[in-house]
Amino acid sequence: MNDAASSLPVVIVGGGFSGAMLAARLAERGQISTLIERGDAFGPGVAYSTSNDAHRLNVRAGRMSAVADRPADFTDWLATHHPDQADANDFAPRRLYGLYVRYRLNKTEAAHPGLIRRVTGAVIAVEGRSAILSTGERIEGRAVVLATGNPAPRTTSTGEDGRIIANPWTPDALTPIRPDDDVLILGAGLTMVDVLLTLSSQGWRGRATAVSRRGLLPRAHGPHHDAPIDLPPEALNGPLSARLATVRRLATAHGWRRVMEGYRPITLDLWGAATQAERGRFLRHLRPWWDVHRHRLAPEIAAELDQLIKEDRLTVRAGRIRKVTPSADSVAVHLTANNADQTLSAPWLIDCTGPGHDAASTPLTAALIAEGRARLDPLKLGLDLDQTGRVRCADGTPDPDLYVLGPPARAAFWETIAVPDIRQRIEALTDLLAV
């Protein structure tokens, strides 16, 4: 790379946790970056912008440092600024984590003046190494990193009907729901849990029915961090069915949490070594169980869910959604469960099915795919990437100047939504991009 190119910034599209912490890490390595965020809230992103302290971290505070080589960074910050929340074993409010991310970004900017430039605007295209804003402004760089977070759910299409809440993360999306209204929820994972916590905090007293393919709820963390077990070769190699049988035996002998902790540091390697066919079988048959055991709840949040179930205010149903039919004052969900067709209805339907990765998920993604500079992963997990995080063009060749970081990189790295996993990817990208 010539001197002129090396003096240009790394352009980071998305100023949430992934983008902001990459910018901070690059600055600490002497690399200038331009951080572009659609709004003015640089740092927290959607996940940590909540003002509701019922929304807790799903990982213990002691494991949530934003910096790989400073494991106590977050708990040290808590001890200084919020000492009542500084227990490393606890699950701090996500609001506080958002404040911590902002603090780290601001502190790094002050320590390395001129190395982080903030730009507020919407990126609609990437041309070469430049990001194009909706205003027409061109921001030139030496590489572009897409850290855009998850797209909104798309199970309920556009959600233009007033009774369908297609994206529960939209500000005030749940405020129209009255205290005694019943709700249907598509999906039974962590987003569903957040929705129930938000509703409860605004005085909601109704009943909720959550529908998912398997009808599984996220499991709870134990009272303390579980030490990982050393996994034997038969849990790491061979047919998936044989590995699963081994895992079940290990879980019976040692507890499933310890087994999952054993897999955590090597999941990336296992996913990278898996064939496309193996990945597809995993997604079809094992993913629901992986997700509920891997992405767990704080014990106190799990207890609140249990209480809602005991009070008959939360019912979880397994079924396959066939269609959604809105009317003037309700929404009907037609599903197939136990080989029989059923219909559920309620005044409101909330889509908590997870990110909707497709060619039109965002204008930026659509533009990249349309020009052949990107393509979707065959399993529809997100953009197709190589093992360094570079976007694959339509012909499969990796683009040398375009990278993806965070949740949209799931196709290549599988676990890219939790801070400990994103933290590793930030270090790897920093090594690649710092000059």
Please check whether residue 347 is in contact with residue 174, taking contact to mean a CB–CB distance below 8 angstroms.
no
Tell me the pLDDT band of 1, cut-offs 50, 70 and 90. very low
Q: For the whole model, what pTM was predicted?
A: 0.92
User: Which amino acid belongs to residue 67?
Assistant: V
Is pLDDT of 158 > 60?
A: no
Which tokens is 145 given?
Answer: 């990193």
Is pLDDT of 428 > 70?
A: yes
Sheet with 331-337: list strands edge to edge: 320-326, 331-337, 340-346
Is pLDDT of 152 > 80?
A: no
Which tokens is 424 given?
Answer: 């590793």
Comparing CA positions, the residue from 135, 136, 144 lying closest to residue 13 is 144
Tell me the pLDDT band of 395, cut-offs 50, 70 and 90. very high
* pLDDT confidence of residue 75: 98
Query: Which of 42 and 150 is assigned the larger pLDDT?
Result: 42
Q: Is 15 helix (H, G, I), strand (E, B) or coil?
A: coil
Partners of 342 in beta bridges: 335
For tokens 């730009």, the residue is 119
344 — phi, psi (to 5°)? Answer: -115, 150
Residues in contact with 350: Cβ distance below 8 Å, sequence separation at least 6, in sequence order? 165, 168, 174, 183, 184, 185, 186, 195
Q: Is 281 helix (H, G, I), strand (E, B) or coil?
A: helix
**What's the mean per-residue pLDDT of the chain?**
93
Class of domain 164-219+296-351: alpha beta
Which tokens is 149 given?
Answer: 């977070």
Rounded Cα distance, 122 and 36, in Å: 8
Please check whether residue 269 is in contact with residue 24, taking contact to mean a CB–CB distance below 8 angstroms.
no
**3-151+356-433 CATH:** 3.50.50.60
CATH 3.50.50.60 in the chain is located at 3-151+356-433, 164-219+296-351
- How many percent of the chain have pLDDT more than 70? 95
